[in-house]
Every structure is written in C-alpha cells, then in structure tokens.
Amino acid sequence: MTTTATTIRPAIHRQRLLDRFLEYVKIETTADPTATTYPSSLGQLELGKLLVRHLRSLGLIDAFQDASGLVWGTIPATDGGGSATVALLAHLDTSPESPGGNVRPRVIPSYAGGDIELGNDQVIRRCDTPELEGLRGKTLITTDGTTLLGGDDKAGVAILVELAAHLMEHPYLPHGEIRLLFTCDEEVGRGTEKIDLNQVNAFVAYTLDGGGAGQLDVETFSADSARVTFRGTNIHPSIAKGRMVNAVRAASDFVDRLPRATLAPESTEGRDPFLHPYAIEGTVASASVQLLLRSFDTAQLVDLAAIIRQHAAATAADFPGIETSIAIQAQYRNLRDGLRHLPEAIELAKQGFANLGRRCEETIIRGGTDGSQLTEKGLPTPNLSSGQYNIHSLKEFACLDEMVEAVEHLVELLSLWSDKGRS
C-alpha cells in the first residue's frame, strides 16, 4: 500500500531532537584544512564516540566508530526484506571559516519576526535574511554572535539520530534496511575519502545537509582547487635595492588582477561560475595564494584554470626574477551528472513531500556535499533539507520545526522505497 498524507504517523519527539542538537553543537568539531591527519580535529572523534553511545542505546547493536573516525550504524528492515538498502549521511565537522569552539546556542521558542540581536555587535537582519519572514512562530536556534552554531551539519546529525530513535520505537513503520553514516572533514573536501562503498552496500543514499524546508538539492558545483606559488629572493632590506624580489608583492598583484565584477563569489549568483582567492600567505622568499574554481559546467573548470595561468604569467612578467608554479587539484563534480542514472532517487523524495502535503523545490547548491563525491563514485546521493540558514557565518541559525519536518519526510521517503521494493 502506497503511503498517503492521511496515514496516521506517530509524532516526532521535538524536545529530544532539540536536546541532542544542543548537546552536539557544544562539541567543537572545526575541520583543519592544514592537518595531515584524518579526521583533522580531535573534536570529531569526540562527537563520533558520543554518537556511538547514543545509537547503541537506541538498539543499533552494530553501531561503531571505525579507525578513520567514521561512525556507522544499521537500522534493521521492518518490511520483511527485498527492498533497497538506503544510506543516510551527515557530517560531524564544521567549517574552519569562522570560530567553532565554546558555542553558546540560544533557543528562540516562538520567533516573533524582525531582526534577531545576537550580541557582540552581531544582528541577523531581516533585510539580509528574507527567509526569516516565513519562520514566524517557529523555534529557532542561534549563536551568541561569537561562533558558528554548527547547524551545518549537526542539524543533519541530530535529525538522523532522532530518525533512528523514532523508527526503533515504532517498528511497525515500514522500511528496508537503513545504513547510517556520519562522515568527517566534509568542510575541507575530504568527507568521502575513507568511505568504502562496499561497506556502505546501499542502492541509494541521501545526505542531510541542506537548507530550508522542502528543498531537494539535485545539482552542485563541479569544483577544483588551485595553489599559485610565487618564489622571490630575500635579502636584508638595507641592501635590497636591485637585489630583492618580493614574493608577497607578487602574490598581492596576482590577486588584484583576478576578476571582481564578474567571476567572483561576491558578484555572482545562480548558475554563474566563479574564481575565489580565499587564502594568501608567505614571505618575501615565497608566497602562495589558494583559490577555489567553481562551475556547474565541469568543462568550464579548464577555462577558469586558464585565467589563473594567464594572470600568474602577467604577474611574473611585471616582477623580474619571480618564479611561479601552479597546482590544480580536482575536488568534486556536479551531482546532476550521476543522478541521471537513478531518477527514482529524486522522484521518490519529491513524492514523499507530496504525500505529506508539502511543497518541494528542486534546487542547486553553489557548493558541494559528500553526495557529490559519492554520486561520482557510483552511489546516487541527492541532498535533503535540514533547516540550516546563514551557514559558515557567525549569524548562522537553525529551525527546529524544519528539523522535525526533515525526520517526518525521511519516514515517508523510506516507506516509499519499501513500497517500491515490494511492488
């Protein structure tokens, strides 16, 4: 029997979901892009150990943290078997772009509208965050303005743990085998580095790493990274005339040459590509610039790399004695390319929203998820809503009501996959 919006479903435990989320965000799990270890920060291991305890207490007897820090668990099938195994993922780490330690979350039980004063001269302004208008009366969780909240992606983590609790408490709800996987270092592009797809052993997967309610992410950027290094000649400034070649000046000149009115994240939107210099470091002797290359058209990454090479060469020509080197590394590819092989992954997610009487908007991400890389490796993995807003910002916040809705949608979606397997 196909599930409909009129099917009686047990209520999701809101307070438990909130309590777990608040516990998770207080554990610092900031990813470190300079680390050579995996995971790149000890806090990810700490949170992973806590999740194992939580999952085992719910009855997931196989829950464990592997040698790489990934947390695994299985919710047994209730439909008699024969339906597809579905994997559900969220990541433990938070972005290194803003402070992530000593998080002090603030709960707003019934948002009344208007600007939200966080303190520390930080304000979530309604004019800058138009989504606030649709969140009146809902429970929001913010920061105190000094750190990230960590909703990206601890909202997804809390959603999956509550899903496990809900399904284990209500074994009559139909679903096939569900594989839970909590990854590390997604924010620095290494989220799937240690994943063995044979161990996942799933037909389809979904990441819980999306924005507002009803969004179904079916496209991501294709992404490369670049490091441009300038090598100069250092000598004491008192005798530097005609002898010093300053790599810091060369690196600064290179950044200044990059497009700003176009091909920059601060001047683009929608399907526009960009080149983003996000870090610069060095000395007179050697300086480097790190850049992100992003486009929904994978082939266009070659053109973006050519722009980098062109401007690096022009800088070298204007700074006699400067030597340059450019290293470009592939990161992930557009989610769309792989999802074409399993359209049901999108169709059933949309049907789940429809059965609940909720809107669904197919959306694109000007970024990437673990699902981008998993899909490229052969496991189709769209991205689902988890109630995150203003990600990577001190003004980040999450919506508890939309986290609850995410759990409800997963229950419906898993039932649909079960129906498909038994039809």
pLDDT digits (tens, 9 = 90+) for 81-107: 889 999 999 999 999 999 999 999 999
Catalytic residue among 79, 93, 187, 370: 93
Check if 253 is active-site: no
What pLDDT score was predicted for residue 242? 95
CA-CA distances (angstroms) from residue 13 to 323, 363, 385, 403, 408? 61, 28, 18, 11, 11
pLDDT band at 422 (very low <50, low <70, confident <90, very high): low
383-385, strands of its sheet edge to edge: 64-65, 71-75, 178-183, 86-91, 204-210, 383-385, 215-220, 361-365
Whole-number Å distance between alpha carbons of 9 and 228: 55
pTM: 0.89
pLDDT digits (tens, 9 = 90+) for 118-135: 988 999 999 999 999 999
| Cis-peptide, bond into residue 39, ω within 30° of zero | yes
Phi, psi of 312 (to 5 degrees): -65, -40
- 299 contacts 261 by C-beta, under 8 angstroms: no
- 152 contacts 392 by C-beta, under 8 angstroms: yes
pLDDT band at 423 (very low <50, low <70, confident <90, very high): low
Show me where the domains of the chain are located. Answer: 14-220+334-422, 222-332
What pLDDT score was predicted for residue 7? 52
Whole-number Å distance between alpha carbons of 412 and 219: 23
Query: If you average pLDDT over residues 156-164, what whole number do you get?
Result: 98
Say whether 222-332 and 14-220+334-422 share the same fold. Answer: no
Reduced to 3 states, what is the DSSP secondary structure of residue 138? coil
Token pair listed for 386: 């988890």
What pLDDT score was predicted for residue 6? 43
Q: Is residue 374 scored above 60 in pLDDT?
A: yes
What pLDDT score was predicted for residue 159? 98
Check if 93 is active-site: yes
CATH of 222-332, one of 3.30.70.1140, 3.30.70.360, 3.30.365.10, 3.40.50.300: 3.30.70.360
Catalytic residue among 152, 153, 186, 224: 186
Q: Which CATH class is domain 14-220+334-422?
A: alpha beta
Average pLDDT, the chain: 95
